[in-house]
Amino acid sequence: MNITGNTILITGGGSGIGRALAEALHAKGNTVIIAGRRESVLDEVTQANPGMASMLLDIQDKADIAAFAGEAVTRFPALNVVIHNAGIMRPESHVDLAIAEETVATNLLGPIRLTAALLPHLKAQPRASIVTVSSGLAFVPLAATPSYSATKAAIHSWSMALRHQLKDTGVEVVEIAPPYVQTELLGPQQATDPEAMPLADFTSEVMALLEAAPADGEIIVERCKPLRFAAENGNFADVFAMVNSRH
C-alpha cells in the first residue's frame, strides 16, 4: 500500500488506534476522513488536525451504512482506501446474547456492509485498498471476550478470502492485527496498562510495515507474532494459557 497520496476513510477514527492511524496518515500527505458515532469526539480530532474531515456513521445500522457510503463517494470522489477500524470489546459471562449480537453487528457485519457499499467505487479507482483491523485474539482467543475474539477470527478469514477474490483487480486487501495496545477499548485502565503496547510504538511500527507492503497482506507487529503464529509454532496451548492466565 502506498502510504501517501490517498484519500482514506477510517471508521472509528475518533479515538485509540483509529485516531493514531488517522493522524499518522494525515501527516504523510493523505486526505483523511474519520467516521464514527460521536460528533464531539470527531470534532476534537479534526480541530487538532487541520485539513482532516469527519462524517457521522452508525456502523451497526445497515441503512445508515448505505447512505453514508453514497455521501462519502459524492463528497470525496478520489476515495481509494477504507480502513475498517471501528470495533467494540465487551467482557461476557458465559453467553450474553445482547453483547454477542452488538459485537457481531459492529465488528463483522459493519465492515462487510461498508465494503459491499464501497467496492464498486473502489474497483473503479486506479489503485485502492481495503484495510481490516483484526486482532491477535483472532488467533488465540481471550475467554473473557468470546464474541470479540470470534468476530476478529472471522475478519481474518474474510480478509484472506476477499484478498484472493480481488487478486486480479486494482484493489488490495490488507489486514492489521494489533496485540494488546494502550487504548481504552476495554476501559480507561487499558490506556495505562504497562503490559499493553504503547500506542505510539504500535502506530510507528504499523506505518513502517504498511510502507514495506508485505506480500501476504498481513501487518503483524513483532509483539503480536507469538499470537499470530502460535498454531504454526506448535505452542498454541501454552500461549492460550498465558493469554487467559489473568481471567
Question: What's the CATH code of the domain at 148?
Answer: 3.40.50.720
- Taking the C-alpha atoms of residue 59 and residue 153, their distance in angstroms, rounded to an integer, is 19
pLDDT in tens, 106-129: 999 999 999 999 999 999 999 999
- Taking the C-alpha atoms of residue 177 and residue 218, their distance in angstroms, rounded to an integer, is 8
Contacts by 66-70 with C-beta closer than 8 Å and gap 24+?
Answer: 66/113, 66/117, 68/35, 68/114, 68/117, 69/114, 69/117, 69/118, 69/121, 70/117
The average confidence (pLDDT) of the chain is 96
Q: What is the pLDDT of residue 1?
A: 84
2 inside domain: no
pLDDT in tens, 36-83: 999 999 999 999 999 999 999 999 999 999 999 999 999 999 999 999
- Given a cut of 80, whether residue 231 has pLDDT beyond it is yes
- Taking the C-alpha atoms of residue 6 and residue 81, their distance in angstroms, rounded to an integer, is 7
181 inside domain: yes
Q: How many domains does the chain have?
A: 1
1 inside domain: no
Q: What is the pLDDT of residue 247?
A: 62
178 inside domain: yes
Q: What confidence category does residue 31 fall into, taking pLDDT thresholds of 50, 70 and 90? A: very high
Residue range 141-158: mean pLDDT, rounded: 98
- Taking the C-alpha atoms of residue 14 and residue 34, their distance in angstroms, rounded to an integer, is 7
Q: What is the pLDDT of residue 109?
A: 98
Backbone angles phi, psi at 172, to 5 degrees: -95, 155
Q: What is the pLDDT of residue 186?
A: 86
Q: Is 51 left (phi over 0), alpha (psi -120 to 50) or beta?
A: left
Q: What is the pLDDT of residue 120?
A: 98
Q: What confidence category does residue 159 fall into, taking pLDDT thresholds of 50, 70 and 90? A: very high
Q: What is the pLDDT of residue 158?
A: 98
Q: Which residues are catalytic?
A: 148
Residue range 152-178: mean pLDDT, rounded: 98
17 inside domain: yes
pLDDT in tens, 167-220: 999 999 999 999 999 999 988 999 999 999 999 999 999 999 999 988 899 999
Q: Is 53 left (phi over 0), alpha (psi -120 to 50) or beta?
A: beta
- Beta-bridged to residue 35, according to DSSP, are 11, 55
Backbone angles phi, psi at 78, to 5 degrees: -90, 5
The residue range of the domain holding 166 is 7-243
